[in-house]
Amino acid sequence: MSFFTELAHQYIDGEWRPGSGSWDIIDFNPYDGEKLASIQVATVAEVDQAYRAAERAQVGWAATNPYSRRLVFERALRIIEDREQEITEAIIAELGGTHLKAAFELHLVKEFLREAVQLALRPEGRILPSPIDGKENRVYRLPVGVVGVISPFNFPFLLSVKSVAPALALGNAVVLKPHQNTPICGGSLVAKVFEDAGLPAGLLNVVITDIAEIGDALIEHPVPKAISFTGSDKVGQHVATVCAANFKRAILELGGNSALIVLDDADVDYAVDAAVFSRFVHQGQVCMAANRILVDRSVEKEFTEKFVAKVSTLKVGDPADPTTHIGPLINSTQADAVTSLVEATVEGGATALLRGSAEGNLVGPSVLTGLADDSPILSQEIFGPVALLVPFDGEDEAVRIANETPYGLSGAVHTGDVERGVRIAQRINTGMIHINDSTVHDEPIVPFGGEKHSGSGRLNGESMIEAFTTQKWISVQHGRSQFPF
């Protein structure tokens, strides 16, 4: 596949070149183990070069008319539309995404690029009154300068573009570090799209590396003023600590342990469909996935039978097969972790209504019930195809169970009474929650983010302006001020 041969390089200051490290990052297909690419790792020296290039290029970019800046994003959108088949194949090969998942990711990438076109024109200044006669207070919206972006492996193309495009549209420059398991879709491909769209050299740099090589250099470096990180809460906590110590803004989109609640008046068949999608899309490797499915005891039997029956029909296998629902997990470490978690939970007393077998990185779906209230699996994020069915008695218990987690990202409530669902949703400590729908949603103009261990800050829409710009007060004194001495 051409992407994996042509783009297996660092991209710094408009040049494609190898890193200077003494080892290579190897990019594997998680389904069949095929070696896709070998990329010489970037060192601290390349990180510095990338940030310095961004710093130099950003000044002129910020001064560029935003009507001109937005043309880059219009062209990038057309490039992705023209290359959609190639990009789909790359997503399938590099991260084991199914055709359905690739289509979902590409749809959102295009939507976020459309929003970036508009975002370039959206920052507004203000003139505020003053108690001092003749004084004019001007408040300007300015780019923060240079932004560091660290993207994950599960939706690498989307979650890179989601921060990169708005940051650039608002007049910043960017240094992007993709996850080492998805260096092409999460890094080099993004750079290639923007290079071909005419983005001036230096404004977007991609360093393919690992903390084993660079440590905290990417977030400690003095140039970036903001770091946008998407990943686990454990790493996010470290990123936040380092950013705080270096007076940097941290936008953190972290893990989740979402609950999908099925009330006694829900449309059970529809709730089953929503729950199966919410739990098993992209093998459950989604921060918004419904880890826990809470079901009112009055409909528990009906829901459980229909849920298990539908999950049993999901096809596990080659993600390149359009009929496959569940492809491989990203690597053997993740596959082993999920399998071990299921084993430990069953040994701890849970009942497996369905237990998926494991072959390589392919892990079939499991459905567990009969969990003890203190079962460790209930309070953690499961990045794999494992559904937990938890019965409850009444709304108060549903809310209590939903909130018994350190996370607070997404959720859903299924009910025949929409306003009842909204009242319950307001009591659940999450950044996002959906009535009569899945837990997995993202839209370009609504605030996206979580509470508690699920992150800090928001992305999308107006939140992008808050994330990637700063305010500057300039006062103008018309006439002469009177000074006390």
Residue 210 token pair: 């690992």
Q: What pLDDT is attached to residue 2? A: 82
Instruction: Say if CB 445 and CB 416 are below 8 A apart.
Output: no
Residue ranges and CATH numbers for the domains of the chain are 2-254+454-473 (3.40.605.10), 258-435 (3.40.309.10)
β-partners of residue 250 are 227
Amino acid at 4: F
What is the three-class DSSP state of 170? coil
Tell me the C-alpha to C-alpha distance, in Å, between residue 252 and each of 19, 37, 152, 230.
28, 29, 12, 6
How far out from the chain centre does Cα 155 lie?
Answer: 7
φ/ψ of 16, rounded to 5, equals -95, 120
Please, what is the end-to-end C-alpha distance for the chain in angstroms?
75
Angstrom distance (rounded) from CA 288 to CA 112: 18
On whether the CB atoms of residues 251 and 229 are closer than 8 A, the answer is yes
Length of the chain: 485
DSSP label at 154?
Answer: S
| Residue 12, SS3 per DSSP | strand
pTM given for the model: 0.96
| Six-digit token string for 218 | 């990417």
From residue 322, give the alpha-carbon distance in Å to each of 2, 100, 273, 485: 22, 8, 19, 80
pLDDT at residue 13 in the model = 98
- AA identity, residue 296: D
Strands 146-150 and 226-230: parallel
Residue 39's nearest CA partner among 166, 150, 182, 164 is 182
User: Distance between CA atoms of 290 and 280, rounded to whole angstroms?
Assistant: 8
Q: CA-to-CA distance for 6 and 260, rounded, in angstroms? A: 43
Question: Does the CA dihedral 93-96-98-103 come out positive or negative?
Answer: negative
**What would the two tokens of residue 235 be?**
């790493």
Encoded tokens for 222: 């003095």
Written as six digits, the tokens of 379 are 């309070």
The answer to whether residues 191 and 201 touch, using CB atoms and an 8 Å cutoff, is no
Q: What is the largest CA-CA distance in the chain?
A: 84
| Measured distance CA(292)–CA(143) in Å, rounded | 40
Quick one: tokens of 478? 């018309």
Q: Which two tokens stand for residue 94?
A: 């590099």
Residue type, 255: G
Per-residue pLDDT of the chain (485 residues; tens, 9 = 90+): 589 999 999 999 999 999 999 999 999 999 999 999 999 999 999 999 999 999 999 999 999 999 999 999 999 999 999 999 999 999 999 999 999 999 999 999 999 999 999 999 999 999 999 999 999 999 999 999 999 999 999 999 999 999 999 999 999 999 999 999 999 999 999 999 999 999 999 999 999 999 999 999 999 999 999 999 999 999 999 999 999 999 999 999 999 999 999 999 999 999 999 999 999 999 999 999 999 999 999 999 999 999 999 999 999 999 999 999 999 999 999 999 999 999 999 999 999 999 999 999 999 999 999 999 999 999 999 999 999 999 999 999 999 999 999 999 999 999 999 999 999 999 999 999 999 999 999 999 999 999 999 999 999 999 999 999 999 999 999 999 989 99
Q: How many CB atoms lie within 10 A of CB 107?
A: 11
CB 406 within 8 A of CB 243: no
> Are 325 and 315 spatial neighbours (Cβ–Cβ below 8 Å)?
yes
CA dihedral for 183, 188, 189, 191, sign (positive or negative): positive
User: Which residues are marked as active site?
Assistant: 253, 287
Those residues with Cβ within 8 angstroms of residue 246's Cβ, 6 or more apart along the chain or in another chain: 219, 220, 222
How far apart are the C-alpha atoms of 48 and 40, rounded to whole Å? 17
- The two three-digit tokens of residue 268, written as one number: 């059970």
Q: 206-215: string of b/e by CB count within 10 Å (b at 16+)?
A: bbbbeeebbe
